[in-house]
Amino acid sequence: MVKFTHIIKAFIRGIARSKVSLFGTTMTTAAFPILFIGILLELFGIIHNQYFGFVLYMFVAPAFILGLVLIFLGLFFFKGTEDVGLFTHEYLSEKLSVPENFIKVRKLIFLGTSLTFVNVFVIILLAYTGYHYTESNAFCGQLCHTVMEPEYATYSNSPHSRVKCVECHIGSGAQWFVKSKLSGTRQLVAVVAKSYATPIETPVHGLRPARDTCEECHRPELFHGDKLYIKDKILSDEKNTHVQTVLLLKVGSGGYKGSEAHGIHWHVAEDNKITYRHKDWEREDIFEVTLTKLDGTKVVFNKGEEATATNGEVYEREMDCVDCHNRPTHIYKTPDEALDEKIILGAISSELPFIKKIGYELITREYPSHEVAKNQIATELRAWYRLKYSEIVNNNMPMLNKAIEGVQAAYLENVWPSMKIKWNTYRSLRGHQNNSGCFRCHDDEHETSSGETISMDCEACHIILAEDEKDPEILKVMKGI
Ligand code: HEC
Ligand code: HEC
Ligand code: HEC
Ligand code: HEC
Ligand code: HEC
């Protein structure tokens, strides 16, 4: 009769004979309690530190698994010189041919199975919590702190601040899951090796087609109606005059339940597939646009020039949400927008004479770092007001101090010298700033062979109800004043 302890002893002897196994055992034994307790702490949300998850899943977990692999590699392939007679072909065939020895084999199998069971349990737990960890915002946005800090900060101030990074950047399905983990690994390596691009490149050419991700939550084919778009602006005069632009944006619909596609969301109708060819990586220089209808008919709008990209490349892309909504969440403001918003919300008092003008001058200068920018802005604003409006410095320092913070914030929330992100590094394509955005196609220069163009008619997209007006009539009417 073979005792169970003999089997364990033989097993341990087997491990002890092989340095590889011994090393593996040490690793696994050391990692196991840390991992087990760590996973439980994570699972019940007791620890919220992003570095905790990182160390747990990027170092301890791989050590545990590597340890297990080493144990078995050692047992079977690096047994050392002394034969312990376990796990060899002779051993098994001897035991299996003698009925009395079956029991020993059974115990061995029992031991193996129970150890495997415990390990599989830990590995499943690990897979579950590790999966959630690598899909979390802590992992994506905060861990690569300086690298993705701008993306995380702009995201946190945006309408999508409660949508997880992975919902737009990965979406559902196994194929994109695998792709994202591969590219994620590459990015981690780039962060460690500091070989990432500054600023991080955009457009993101490997981005999943937006229709697969955005449409998990949005139904653009539904009728969105006309949207009143109000843009507040502050002029650079002494009084920091507040003016407004009001447009009626014809968002329309992509055609749903019999209603015909029309307006701005006409582009996302099933019936209107738009592809375009561009010369540059940034997709600014579009020389040909093709509209393919559901029945296969094609309309080609061409700028009349041959595809002569500087590097000989021609890129092609199917238009989707991100060709207009490229900044749904990483929203960088222009210096005007950033300051105007702070003034309108009261973070900067509009009673400070010329604060818009001086603020603008200060935030559009180049600074080597956030720290330097903060100091310079504070020093210069104080000096300027002391020189020109000393009564404010003498009587209303709190107002000036608050304004200084507001001007600093306007800069800090949009510019990151460490990542070479300046004003306008990342532009929005939703309107037609600097003749980009919609005007990349809607410029009256892309023509069909019969001379039709993609319209630049202002009224095709919006009705301008007021432009840079003080107290526009239309808003008074709406308020019933
Ligand atoms: C609502 C969808 C959405 C969410 C949520 C989102 N992103 Fe993005 N992200 C985008 C789009 C769209 C782009 C730009 C695509 C383009 O122009 O090619 C982008 C671009 C980026 C870029 C490239 C730099 C840039 O600004 O163009 C990085 C890095 C990035 N995102 C990281 C993140 C991180 C980290 C999070 C979570 C904290 C996140 N994203 C959340 C949609 C999203
Ligand atoms: C997981 C769900 C989800 C996904 C995915 C998502 N969004 Fe949104 N989106 C929202 C929610 C929720 C809001 C409304 C936020 C609010 O009003 O507070 C919103 C708001 C918007 C708005 C209106 C913003 C504004 O200024 O009022 C636009 C435009 C938009 N999303 C476009 C996109 C685009 C483009 C994508 C894909 C790149 C996308 N969304 C992906 C949930 C999502
Ligand atoms: C041709 C450009 C264009 C395309 C393509 C486009 N949109 Fe829009 N969309 C706009 C504009 C312009 C607005 C109005 C301004 C705003 O609210 O952002 C808008 C508004 C929206 C809104 C907000 C509606 C509201 O009532 O506030 C959502 C949500 C939205 N789009 C989602 C999408 C999604 C999802 C896609 C892709 C399937 C898409 N859009 C494709 C230009 C476009
Ligand atoms: C990649 C090229 C491209 C871009 C970028 C683009 N469009 Fe278009 N758009 C087209 C084409 C092509 C048509 C169809 C023109 C035609 O058939 O006469 C069109 C048609 C339209 C129409 C008329 C729809 C109808 O009811 O017939 C509107 C409105 C419109 N676009 C708004 C916009 C807005 C707003 C933007 C920017 C946010 C924009 N487009 C960006 C290519 C583009
Ligand atoms: C292809 C569609 C399209 C055409 C054509 C077009 N616009 Fe626009 N325009 C837009 C959209 C979309 C916005 C909203 C921008 C945003 O969402 O940020 C806008 C915004 C504006 C604004 C407000 C900008 C601001 O934020 O201060 C003005 C002013 C304007 N357009 C004037 C014009 C004039 C003038 C024309 C005719 C030459 C014209 N647009 C043609 C789509 C168009």
Over residues 78-100, the pLDDT tens digits come to: 766 655 555 567 776 777 777 77
Which helix H or strand E contains 52, and what residues bound it? helix 50-55
- For the Cβ of 231 lying below 6 angstroms from any atom of ligand 3, the answer is no
Buried b (16+ CB within 10 A) or exposed e, 409-420: bbbbbbbbbebe
* Residues 6+ away with beta carbon under 8 Å from 406: 342, 343, 347, 348
The ligand placed nearest to the CA atom of residue 218 is 3
pLDDT at 3: 66
430 lines ligand 4 (CB under 6 A): yes
Question: Which residue's C-alpha comes closest to atom 37 of ligand 4?
Answer: 438
* Closest ligand (CA of 214): 2
Structure tokens that stand for 433 in this block: 């700033």
Confidence of residue 258 (pLDDT cuts 50, 70, 90): low
Question: Ligand 5 within 6 A of 71 CB?
Answer: no
Residue 273 tokens, joined: 């597939």
Does residue 311 have a pLDDT over 80? no
243 vs 81, higher pLDDT? 243
**Would the CB of 268 count as within 6 Å of ligand 3?**
yes
Ligand 5 atom nearest residue 438's Cα: 1
Distance 157 CA to ligand 5 centre (A): 24
Q: Which long-range contacts (CB under 8 A, 24 or more apart) does 443-450 make?
A: 445/303, 446/286, 446/288, 446/289, 446/301, 446/302, 446/303, 447/301, 447/302, 447/303, 447/304, 448/299, 448/300, 448/301, 448/302, 449/300
What pLDDT is stored for residue 84 in this prediction? 54
Report the C-alpha gap between 125 and 56 in whole angstroms.
Answer: 13
> Which token pair is 51?
């570095």
Residue among 177, 255, 169 nearest 216 (CA): 169
Q: To the nearest whole number, what is the mean pLDDT of the chain?
A: 87
- Centre of ligand 1 from the C-alpha of residue 260, in Å: 32
The mean pLDDT of 235-246, rounded to a whole number, is 97
**C-alpha of residue 154 to centroid of ligand 2, in Å:** 14
Q: How many A from CA of 264 to the centre of ligand 4?
A: 7
Residue 58 or residue 346, greater confidence: 346
pLDDT in tens, 151-189: 999 999 899 999 988 899 988 888 888 888 888 888 878
Between CA 27 and CA 22 the distance in angstroms is 9
Q: Which ligand is nearest to the CA of 274?
A: 4
Q: What is the DSSP letter of 201?
A: P
Measured in whole angstroms, how far is the alpha carbon of residue 12 from the centre of its chain?
A: 49
User: Which of 157, 158, 160 gets mutated to test ligand 2 (max ligand atoms within 8 A of its CB)?
Assistant: 160
Cα distances from 142 to residues 122, 145, 359, in angstroms, run: 27, 5, 30
Ligand 4 pocket mutation, candidates 298, 454, 458, 464, criterion most atoms within 8 A of CB: 454
Ligand 1 within 6 A of 202 CB?
yes
Q: What is the pLDDT of residues 97-156, one digit of tens each?
A: 777 777 777 777 788 788 888 888 888 888 888 888 888 887 777 666 678 889 999 999
User: Is the Cβ atom of 431 under 6 angstroms away from ligand 5?
Assistant: yes
- Ligand 2: lining residues by beta carbon, under 6 Å: 159-160, 163, 167-168, 210, 213-214, 216-218, 321-322, 325, 328
pLDDT recorded at residue 114: 86
Q: Is the pLDDT of residue 196 over 90?
A: no
Kindly tell me if the per-residue pLDDT of 10 is higher than 80. Answer: no
- Residues whose CB is less than 8 angstroms from the CB of residue 450 and which lie 6 or more positions away in sequence, other chains included: none
pLDDT of 309 > 70? The answer is no
Percent of the chain with pLDDT over 70: 93
pLDDT band for position 252 (cuts 50, 70, 90): confident
Q: Is 112 helix (H, G, I), strand (E, B) or coil?
A: helix
Task: Return the residue whose CA atom lies nearest to atom 24 of ligand 4.
Answer: 263
Please report, rounded to a whole number, the percentage of residues in the chain having pLDDT higher than 90: 48
Q: Which ligand is nearest to the CA of 264?
A: 4
